[in-house]
Structure 1
Amino acid sequence: MEVSFIGAGNLAWHLAPALENAGHHINEVYSRQLAHSRQLVSNLYDARTHSDLNFADSPARLFVLAVPDDSLEPVCSRLVLPEDATLVHTSGNQSLTALENWMTIYSDVPVRTGVFYGLQTFTKGQPFMDFRGIPLCIEATSKTTEDLLVKVGQELSDIVYLITSAERQTLHVSAVFACNFTNHLLAIAHDLTTTNGLEFELLQPIIRETIRKGLAVKNPADVQTGPARRGDLTTIESHLRQLEMQPRLAEIYQIMTTSIRQHYNH
């Protein structure tokens, strides 16, 4: 299938090569920053940069909107697509209805719309990811579009689900807790150790074991440990005293401690 990308950020960096490896042809890559589209195109077989959002003469039939959520409507308002085009966004949080409405308002030709959401953390510049183990969440406004996106999804991944916008939004906020917040807590632990002359590497075994245990059981709550879990107020108060000069970290510690204690009725 002929595919074009609108956006050349973290997701596009991985998804475009994956589509090529599955036998699809990436025609064009558009980005507000030409250097970004050139960088992505340099990793593709026969793609070219596209300088604007007028794709009226494009041979592509699938257009992938891989832009931040707050850019979706502004991009759609300027986007010109050929007839018989299918447009998908890749957002975990934005609804399909919003995309459908925008194209009804802004497009001069009928456009089939859908969602093609990969439930993974993507970072530009990292080695290309294997999509086989990445859940792909599909939603579409018609059965024809749904069948098309499922077919493309199954060419990339072994985990393809039909999921509503509401379900996808729940997955997305859950992923923020599991991924983004977890990584931020690791960054805090890194700063606490290194600014006190300790090596962050000392924490890596406990980090690995925490993740291993959490994924090995049905409910991670079953393997929760630590002072909040056991109601150890003496240790909690000691930790808070250590953080007195860092009120932001003390607040985070207190919020997390309170949440754990309430979960276990301490």
Structure 2
Amino acid sequence: MEISFIGAGNLAWHLAPALENAGHHINEVYSRQLQHARQLIHNLYDTQTHSDLNFADSPSKLFVLAVPDDALDDVCSRLVLPENAMLVHTSGSQPLASLERWMAVYSDVPVRTGVFYALQTFTHGQSFMAFDTIPLCIEASDKETEDKLVEIGQEISDTVYLITSGERLTLHTAAVFASNFTNHLLALAHDLALSHDLEFDLLRPLIAETFRKGLAADNPADVQTGPARRHDLTTISRHLDLLTNEPRLAEIYQVLTESIKRKYSR
């Protein structure tokens, strides 16, 4: 299938090569940051940059909106597509109804809409990720589009689900806890260790074992450890004393400690 990407950021960097490796042709890439588009097409075969959002004469059948959520409305308002093109967004939180509404308002031709959401964290410029184990969440405005998106999804991933907008929002929120918040806590631990002239490497075996146990357990709550889990108030008090001059860290420590204590209340 002929495919065009609108956006060349974190997701597009990995998804476009995955689709190309599955036999699809990435025809065009548009990005507000032309350099990002050029970087992406450098890794693709026979792909061109597209200078604007007018794709009326494009041979592509599928258009992938890989832009930040807060840019979707603006991009759709300026987007011109061929008649009966498939347009999918890749957002974890935007409902399909929003894309349907934008196309109804802004497009002069019929456009089929859907969602092609990859449940993973992506970073632009890193080695291309294999998609075979990445869950793909599919939703579409009609059965024909749904079937085609599922078919494309199954060509690159072993895990493809039909997910409603509400279910996808729940997954995306859970993903923020599991990924974004977790990584932020690792960054805070890194900064705390370095601020006391300790190497972050000392914590790496602990972090690795924590994730190994949590992922191996049916419920990560079953392998929770630490002073809050034990209701060890003496240790908690000592930690908070250490953080007296770090009020932001102390606040985060207290919120998470109270959450754990409540979950394992005696």
TM norm structure 2: 0.99
What is aligned with 2:247?
247
Following the alignment from structure 1 to structure 2, what is the Cα–Cα distance between the partners of residues 170 and 144?
A: 26
What is aligned with 2:85?
85
Tell whether 2:77 aligns with 1:101: no
Measured against aligned partners, the alpha-carbon deviations of 1:175-210 in whole angstroms (never above 9, x if no partner) come to: 000000000000001011112111101101110110
Measured against aligned partners, the alpha-carbon deviations of 1:72-106 in whole angstroms (never above 9, x if no partner) come to: 00000000000120000000000000000000000
Following the alignment from structure 2 to structure 1, what is the Cα–Cα distance between the partners of residues 247 and 195?
A: 16
Measured against aligned partners, the alpha-carbon deviations of 1:24-69 in whole angstroms (never above 9, x if no partner) come to: 0001000011111111111110100000000000000000000000
SS at match of 2:3: strand
Following the alignment from structure 1 to structure 2, what is the Cα–Cα distance between the partners of residues 219 and 54?
A: 49
Tell whether 2:28 aligns with 1:13: no
Kindly state the Cα deviation for residue 265 of structure 1 after the two structures are TM-superposed: 1.0
What is aligned with 2:51?
51
SS at match of 1:113: strand
Give the letter for the 2:89 counterpart.
Answer: H
Following the alignment from structure 1 to structure 2, what is the Cα–Cα distance between the partners of residues 219 and 260?
A: 14
Following the alignment from structure 2 to structure 1, what is the Cα–Cα distance between the partners of residues 241 and 200?
A: 22
Where do 4+ consecutive residues of structure 1 move more than 4 Å?
Answer: none
Following the alignment from structure 2 to structure 1, what is the Cα–Cα distance between the partners of residues 32 and 44?
A: 19
Give the letter for the 2:204 counterpart.
Answer: Q
Following the alignment from structure 1 to structure 2, what is the Cα–Cα distance between the partners of residues 226 and 132?
A: 35
What is aligned with 1:117?
117
The alignment of Structure 1 onto Structure 2 pairs a total of residues equal to: 266
Give the letter for the 1:58 counterpart.
Answer: S
For residues 176-187 of structure 1, the aligned pairs below 5 Å read 176-187=176-187
Give the letter for the 2:171 counterpart.
Answer: L
TM norm structure 1: 0.99
Following the alignment from structure 1 to structure 2, what is the Cα–Cα distance between the partners of residues 14 and 215?
A: 24
Give the letter for the 1:46 counterpart.
Answer: D
For residues 214-253 of structure 1, the aligned pairs below 5 Å read 214-253=214-253
What is aligned with 1:144?
144
What is aligned with 1:29?
29
What is aligned with 2:190?
190
Kindly state the Cα deviation for residue 10 of structure 1 after the two structures are TM-superposed: 0.1
Following the alignment from structure 2 to structure 1, what is the Cα–Cα distance between the partners of residues 217 and 42?
A: 43
Following the alignment from structure 1 to structure 2, what is the Cα–Cα distance between the partners of residues 215 and 26?
A: 35
Give the letter for the 1:158 counterpart.
Answer: D
What is aligned with 1:127?
127
Give the letter for the 1:161 counterpart.
Answer: Y
SS at match of 1:112: strand
Kindly state the Cα deviation for residue 213 of structure 1 after the two structures are TM-superposed: 0.5
Following the alignment from structure 1 to structure 2, what is the Cα–Cα distance between the partners of residues 195 and 235?
A: 21
Measured against aligned partners, the alpha-carbon deviations of 1:198-235 in whole angstroms (never above 9, x if no partner) come to: 11011011101100110111110011000000000011
Following the alignment from structure 1 to structure 2, what is the Cα–Cα distance between the partners of residues 199 and 51?
A: 47
Following the alignment from structure 2 to structure 1, what is the Cα–Cα distance between the partners of residues 192 and 33?
A: 37
Identity across matched positions, percent:
74
CA RMSD of aligned residues (A): 0.5
